[in-house]
Amino acid sequence: MNYLFSQNDLPFQAMEALGLSTDDDVLLESTDFKALLAGRRTGLLTLSGLSTEYFQIERLDARLSLQRNLKGEVELRLHPIYKNVQGHSLLSGQEVSLLSSSKEDFLQKGFQDSTGGTSLMIFEYDALTRDFITYFPEEVQVPDFVNGYALSPAQQSGFKRGEALELEDGTRLQHRASESKGILSNRAALVLSVVVDGGQSYFLIRGIRAIKGEEGQQVDYNTPGYKQAFAEMQRSLQLDTPARTGYGLGFKDETQQSRGLGPAQSR
């Protein structure tokens, strides 16, 4: 699983203006930094001292994301908290209502592309900012294994589209572009892995928010599958080979490498 953006892509000048970097050093929490590189939104950040030639804002709560413009340049985007639900040019009023009221977790819509084919787009509602996030399923990189359980092609395809999956041991998980970690689950921790150059790269994700309907009811993550996958992850770290340790990023207190759970942009 590779990041959508590299650290060299970051618009440091724009980030420094927001107090988020200094001397090419990023001043963000690990989860937010990885969410940016993954193409997802950060958590809610408090920005202060914002000013341009037209206005000055003492304080602004917003989420951030990166997007590549038509010139291929990476731009920093701010997603402030809107007072009211924002519409979307590709959604009807009824569809906006379905998503913003949580009657639907996501919507899939097909659009004709420039080649005459049909492209599927997924829409999610960001309850923090009251606007919408869209992504194409083919942009989402999917783990090959979750807690040691191999995902079938059908499960991988469903994961890309935002559908909830259930593994043999009762573990449920769902890709969420609106989540900075990119995932929801009925377990607060998961070990994901992908096959890389004949080896296996592991990604430990902790602090996962509950899947819809199970808030405050997450079950014990320390399952036999989790324990075995965690032990295999530790053994791979001892090998100290980049292909088996997530490109040598090492394991921190939250994730080794959070890219792979889907880029998402506001379009």
Q: Which of 23, 25, 20 is nearest to 7 (CA)?
A: 25
pLDDT, tens digit, 9 for 90 and up, residues 69-120:
888 899 999 999 999 999 999 999 999 999 999 999 999 999 887 788 888 9
Q: Which pLDDT does position 229 carry in this prediction?
A: 94
Whole-model pTM?
0.80
Give the three-state DSSP class for 103.
Answer: coil
Q: Which pLDDT does position 111 carry in this prediction?
A: 87
Q: Which of 143, 151, 220 is nearest to 183 (CA)?
A: 143
Min mean pLDDT across 23-27, 148-152, 206-210 is at: 23-27
Rg (CA), the chain: 19
Q: What average pLDDT does this structure show over 190-210? A: 89
Under the banding of pLDDT at 50, 70 and 90, the label for residue 19 is confident
pLDDT, tens digit, 9 for 90 and up, residues 129-176:
999 999 989 888 899 999 999 999 999 999 999 999 999 999 999 999
Among residues of the chain, what percentage have pLDDT more than 90? 54
Tokens of residue 125, six digits: 């509602």
pLDDT, tens digit, 9 for 90 and up, residues 39-75:
899 999 998 877 665 567 778 899 999 999 888 899 9
Give the three-state DSSP class for 143.
Answer: coil
How much is the mean pLDDT over the chain?
84
Check residues 256 and 192 and name the one with the higher pLDDT: 192
Q: Cα separations (Å) of 17 from 11, 14, 29, 31, 254? A: 10, 5, 18, 21, 28
Q: Which pLDDT does position 1 carry in this prediction?
A: 56
**22 CB contacts (<8 Å, ≥6 apart)?**
16
